[in-house]
């Protein structure tokens, strides 16, 4: 299991990650909304649906928010847990959801993973991902 910070940006994700790369070195990998089957407005198709910034043994994940999700500095981050075992993910997800709010139930996705999101009872946002590839 790995734990990574995940930051959501109001449309300037690529600019921010290129700035972090300039400051910290490393490598940035992007996936654009236009590369996914998600239905978004044409002007949003060149925005980032998911990015990974690898530097000095660390990974920061990021994306642009959808146009109908307002981003406010300070509430634009969460914690992403990447697991290798679906049963373990189900158990941890259920436990963290107790007293909180499930914002996206665990489900299979177009990127060949099981994924879900929740906000725990302390207001911390969590994202869960488990690859379905064998």
**Mean pLDDT split into 10-residue runs, the chain, 134 residues:** 92 92 91 78 84 93 86 84 94 94 96 94 90 86
pLDDT of residue 118: 94
Which domains can be identified in the chain, with CATH numbers? 2-131 (3.10.180.10)
pLDDT at 51: 94
Instruction: Please name the residues in contact with 126: beta carbons below 8 A apart, sequence gap of 6 or more.
Output: 78, 79, 80, 81, 96, 117, 118, 119, 120
pTM over 0.85: no
């Amino acid at each position: 299991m790995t734990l990574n910070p995940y930051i959501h940006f109001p449309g300037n994700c690529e600019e921010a990650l290129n700035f972090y790369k300039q400051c910290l070195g490393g490598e940035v990998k992007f996936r654009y909304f236009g590369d996914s089957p998600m239905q978004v407005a044409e002007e949003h198709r060149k925005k980032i649906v998911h990015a990974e910034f690898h530097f000095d043994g660390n990974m920061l994940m990021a994306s642009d928010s959808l146009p109908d999700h307002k981003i406010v500095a300070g509430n634009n981050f969460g914690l992403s847990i990447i697991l290798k075992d679906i049963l373990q993910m189900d158990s941890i997800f259920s436990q963290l959801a107790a007293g909180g709010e499930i914002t996206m139930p665990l489900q299979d996705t177009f990127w060949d993973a099981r994924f879900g999101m929740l906000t725990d009872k302390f207001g911390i946002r969590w994202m869960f991902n488990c690859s379905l590839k064998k």
